[in-house]
């Protein structure tokens, strides 16, 4: 038996250029995760609870290892009793130092698991970047590498949408593809190396011009300022116009991919909604876990919105059914998703199918207002 974390084929000469930097990079990545990997965070919650899902998703998207316990299983019941936690305390987060956080906010979770949530100062000489997706991380790397005093603010997890991708095949410099997690981790380390500060689990809710300062307001009422703000807030997912869907979000219905629930999809029927690359990637990913995957595509063919390499992967999978000219019109379930209605645009027929999970990838609209739920205040320029 061997335990292989990474391996590499011996690269060409000279080793100073081809071998040592690769090993340095692997060691640095291992060192960076070592501290977190030694800790053991435990989450006790309900499988179909939105709050429990939000915490698991947050930890997973920030690459924080944790153990999950169902509040209905004997070990979950034992942990709740040991922490003297009642039903209102679920989800419960238990940290290695013995702290029990009852139904915590994401900012509390972030601070407890060692993520950086509090800015080092209240004024940054140069730049504040809002949004930690590829665009924001790229801006942080280039700003900090030019010596600018830089802070990046991310409300959920760095990596943004790209961080959710199981395999990105078209990113420059990665001919064999790269997972969103790997890409994010590298970009974060690169930003860190140049001295950019990265805050996680902090939502920006307002912007203000105050004299020469550009002020950013946080959801908890605090603020920081800089001379320049870069908005890299990405997109907001388009909502599926199906009845019953809103009540089941986080309980079988997910916008975007949710790798944390992949294990729960084993042996189940999973529906993916959408006809572009992210839907295709998710369909291929979940086909490895679920008994059956249905890809519901509104358009008449896959070729319109999906890259050819992905169409080929989708078509090669036996447990993946593609239904074109099909929309999801209704989602039903008492405590979680149980079935949904597929409407065939060609025949006009509806079909109710049993499904435990639906993942929605029907596009997104740019957050061109900068910050959602933001009150964008402007005060007169006093200088």
Residue 304 burial by Cβ neighbours in a 10 Å radius (0-12, 13-18, 19+): exposed
Binding-site member from 45, 136, 181, 250 for ligand FAD (CB under 6 A) = 136
Give, as ranges, the residues between 215 and 254 that touch ligand FAD (CB under 6 A): 232-235
For β-strands 339-344 and 326-332, DSSP reports them as antiparallel
Q: Is the Cβ of residue 256 or residue 299 nearer to ligand FAD in the bound state? A: 256
Binding-site member from 156, 184, 294, 327 for ligand FAD (CB under 6 A) = 156
Binding-site member from 203, 294, 326, 327 for ligand FAD (CB under 6 A) = 203
Say how far apart CA 40 and CA 28 lie, in whole Å.
21
User: Looking at 42-50, 115-123, 148-156, 265-273, which segment touches ligand FAD (CB under 6 A)?
Assistant: 148-156
Q: Is the Cβ of residue 307 or residue 329 nearer to ligand FAD in the bound state? A: 307
User: Looking at 2-10, 40-48, 68-76, 364-372, which segment touches ligand FAD (CB under 6 A)?
Assistant: 364-372
Binding-site member from 45, 76, 104, 132 for ligand FAD (CB under 6 A) = 132
Give how far the C-alpha of residue 28 lies from the chain's centroid of Cα atoms, to the nearest Å: 23
Phi first, then psi, for residue 117 (nearest 5°) are: -120, -15
Residue 201 burial by Cβ neighbours in a 10 Å radius (0-12, 13-18, 19+): buried
Q: Is the Cβ of residue 83 or residue 273 nearer to ligand FAD in the bound state? A: 273
Say how far apart CA 357 and CA 355 lie, in whole Å.
6
Binding-site member from 154, 252, 254, 297 for ligand FAD (CB under 6 A) = 154
Asked if 62 is part of the footprint of ligand FAD (rule: CB under 6 A), the reply reads: no
127: left (phi over 0), alpha (psi -120 to 50) or beta: beta
Asked if 170 is part of the footprint of ligand FAD (rule: CB under 6 A), the reply reads: yes
Phi first, then psi, for residue 26 (nearest 5°) are: -65, -40
Residue 358 Cβ, how far from ligand FAD at the closest point, in Å?
15
Would you say 187 and 137 are in contact if contact means Cβ atoms under 8 Å apart? yes
Phi first, then psi, for residue 223 (nearest 5°) are: -150, 155
For residue 91, cis peptide bond before it (omega within 30 degrees of 0): yes
Asked if 61 is part of the footprint of ligand FAD (rule: CB under 6 A), the reply reads: no
Would you say 172 and 193 are in contact if contact means Cβ atoms under 8 Å apart? no
Q: Is the Cβ of residue 80 or residue 216 nearer to ligand FAD in the bound state? A: 216
The three-state secondary structure class of 148 is coil
Closest by CA to 92, choosing from 124, 70, 113, 115, is 70
Asked if 44 is part of the footprint of ligand FAD (rule: CB under 6 A), the reply reads: no
Binding-site member from 94, 162, 201, 320 for ligand FAD (CB under 6 A) = 162
Contact string 88-127 vs ligand FAD (x = CB under 6 A): ----------------------------------------
Give, as ranges, the residues between 257 and 286 that touch ligand FAD (CB under 6 A): 257, 277-278, 281
Residue 170 Cβ, how far from ligand FAD at the closest point, in Å?
5
Binding residues for ligand FAD, rule: CB under 6 A, are 130-136, 153-156, 160-162, 164-165, 168-170, 203-204, 232-235, 256-257, 277-278, 281, 367, 371-372
């Amino acid at each position: 038996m061997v335990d292989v974390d990474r391996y590499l084929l011996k690269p060409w000469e000279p080793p100073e250029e081809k071998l040592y930097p690769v090993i340095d990079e692997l060691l640095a990545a291992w060192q960076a995760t070592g501290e977190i990997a030694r800790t053991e965070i435990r989450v006790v919650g309900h499988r179909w609870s939105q709050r429990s899902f939000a915490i698991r998703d947050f930890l997973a998207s920030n690459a924080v290892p944790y153990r999950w316990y169902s509040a209905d299983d004997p070990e979950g019941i034992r942990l709740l009793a040991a922490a003297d936690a009642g039903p209102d305390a679920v989800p419960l987060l238990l940290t290695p130092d013995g702290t029990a956080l009852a139904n915590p906010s994401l900012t509390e979770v972030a601070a407890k698991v060692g993520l950086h949530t509090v800015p080092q100062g209240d004024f940054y000489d140069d730049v504040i970047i809002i949004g930690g997706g590829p665009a924001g991380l790229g801006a942080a790397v280039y700003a900090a590498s030019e010596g600018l005093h830089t802070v990046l603010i991310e409300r959920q997890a760095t990596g943004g949408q790209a961080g959710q991708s199981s395999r990105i095949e078209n990113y420059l410099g990665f001919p064999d593809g790269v997972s969103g997690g790997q890409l994010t981790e590298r970009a974060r380390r690169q930003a860190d190396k140049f001295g950019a500060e990265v805050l996680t689990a902090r939502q920006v809710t307002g912007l203000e011009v105050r004299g020469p300062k550009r002020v950013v307001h946080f959801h908890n009422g605090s603020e920081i300022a800089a001379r320049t703000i870069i908005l890299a807030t990405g997109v907001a997912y388009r909502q599926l116009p199906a009845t019953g869907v809103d009540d089941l979000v986080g309980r079988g219905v997910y916008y975007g991919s949710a790798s944390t629930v992949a294990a729960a999809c084993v042996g189940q029927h999973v529906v993916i909604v959408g006809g572009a690359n992210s839907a295709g990637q998710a369909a291929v990913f979940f086909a490895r876990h679920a008994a059956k995957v249905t890809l519901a595509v509104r358009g008449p063919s896959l070729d319109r919105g999906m890259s050819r390499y992905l169409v080929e992967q989708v078509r090669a999978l036996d447990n993946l059914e593609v239904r074109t000219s099909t929309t999801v019109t209704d989602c039903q379930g008492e405590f979680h998703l149980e079935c949904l209605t597929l409407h065939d645009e060609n025949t006009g027929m509806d079909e109710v199918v049993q499904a435990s999970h639906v993942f929605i990838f029907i596009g997104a609209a740019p957050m061109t207002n900068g910050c959602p739920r933001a009150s964008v205040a402007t005060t007169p320029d006093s200088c």
